[in-house]
Amino acid sequence: MRNLLAGYYTSILGTQMTPVALAFAVLASGHGVAGLGLVLGAGRLPIVGFILIGGVLADRVSRRTLLLITDVARAVSQATLAIWIFTGHVPLTALMVFASIDGLGSAFFRPALGGIIPSLNEPATLQRANALIGFGRSLGSLLGPATGGLLVAAFSPGAVFAVDAGSYLVSALFLLGVPRDAAAPRTGATGVVADLREGWAEFSSRRWLWALVAQSGVFHLIVLPAYMVLGPQLSADGLGGARGWGFILGGFGAGALLSGLLMTRLTPRYPLRTGILANVGFVPALLTLALGAPLPAVILGAFAAGAGMGTFVTLWETSLQANVPREVLSRVVAYDWFGSLVTLPLGFVLVGFAAPILGPVPLLIIGAVVVATGNAAALALPDVRRLTNGPAPAHQA
């Protein structure tokens, strides 16, 4: 587990630098908010298109191998983009292609990571392991955006992509130390369609699971695109530009970091209930941006959102791993990611084109309303409120 954590911590730090670099590479090239929406959408589209295949592969072959391949492939892609930025103007279509390659890597990385964690931990340490993964993600969210903003301001976005490429290579070296058989490869001879059906049966049989995934799909259609597309533009207009947006995302990371530390110590009896209540912290993040609050208040709002999301993600991932058989876990994780993210590319594009028409304030306020009502609806389900975590159930073939 230590090698997995070391590799993940390294790569996530580089990855969390790139949103600032990507946003300001697009804006500096004159492509505007609409262009940024297209690039961000292009980065998410391969996740939607390939994550189910990634889940099938992660339940069939070595998850460690998939993690290694995706790290190396993304290192090559980010290094190529860095060189291009250093040597000349990168057109919008090329930025979309590089974002797509990075998204394709995530489509195979995420199910493999979700499936390998239970094989390296006992049930009693599962939440702590997920909290440590969340801690690394949060540490990257805290240090990455601020560092990325400073690098963009001092040099260029190309410097950030070069650092990200190096972080993927270092991560691959650490992954070589993960036990080869940790992923518990499948040996069955069933086809891809049969595997997907089996994963769907496990996914759809749990109301708490598909209901929260549906809620997440709405969140990624409206809320997150509004925050990630309009935030850089509002920062450029009066919150300190790239540096200000970097500190806002850093505030988000600080909140998530704190929640990660707490989740290594606290084990709520009803994890989803706790996670959903914490996730309401996204409301102040949206409202401070919408109301034109000063930068410190916007950072505090981002801190609340990060703390809430960090708590929810740790408890959600632990609930999946504790309540879904390991033999189908990567496929269920893939259905989770697919249902959650299928709306995100469309959301980025819609927000990018709607912002000049409606303005940022109505879109951000709508997002805050969606967060509040969506979480209330989820808590109304008894399956969600009463779910507890025990040993993963046995798989019924």
* pLDDT value for 188: 53
> N- to C-terminal Cα distance for the chain?
29
For 155-184, how does the pLDDT look when each residue is reduced to its tens digit (9 = 90+)?
888 889 999 999 999 999 998 888 775 444
For 176, which DSSP code? T
DSSP code string of 213-235: HHHHHHIIIIIHHHHHHHHHHHH
For 39-68, how does the pLDDT look when each residue is reduced to its tens digit (9 = 90+)?
877 887 888 788 888 888 888 888 888 899
What is the dotted CATH code of the domain comprising 2-386?
1.20.1250.20
For 246-258, how does the pLDDT look when each residue is reduced to its tens digit (9 = 90+)?
788 878 888 888 8
Q: Quick one: angle between helices 295-323 and 271-279, nearest 10?
A: 160
Tell me the pTM. Answer: 0.75
3-state secondary structure at position 240:
coil
Distance CA 58, CA 346 (A): 27
The amino acid that residue 336 corresponds to is: D
Q: Which of 241, 234, 247, 251 is nearest to 285 (CA)?
A: 251
CB contact set of 112 (below 8 Å; sequence gap of 6+) = 54, 57, 58, 63, 64, 66, 67, 70, 183, 330
Distance CA 58, CA 116 (A): 9
For 30-41, how does the pLDDT look when each residue is reduced to its tens digit (9 = 90+)?
777 778 778 877
The amino acid that residue 392 corresponds to is: A
Domain residue ranges of the chain, discontinuous segments joined by +: 2-386
Distance CA 212, CA 381 (A): 10
Distance CA 38, CA 98 (A): 12
Per-residue pLDDT of the chain (397 residues; tens, 9 = 90+): 788 888 888 888 888 888 888 887 787 777 777 787 788 778 878 887 888 888 888 888 888 888 999 999 999 999 998 988 888 778 888 888 999 998 899 888 888 887 888 878 777 777 888 888 888 877 777 777 778 888 887 888 888 999 999 999 999 999 888 877 544 444 455 678 888 888 899 899 999 999 999 999 999 999 998 998 888 888 888 888 878 887 888 788 888 888 888 888 888 888 999 999 999 999 999 999 988 889 999 999 999 999 999 899 899 988 988 888 888 888 898 899 888 878 887 888 888 788 888 888 899 999 999 999 999 999 999 989 888 876 555 555 4
- The two tokens of residue 84 are 């291009």
DSSP code string of 292-307: T--HHHHHHHHHHHHH
The amino acid that residue 358 corresponds to is: L
* pLDDT value for 190: 66
For 394, which DSSP code? P
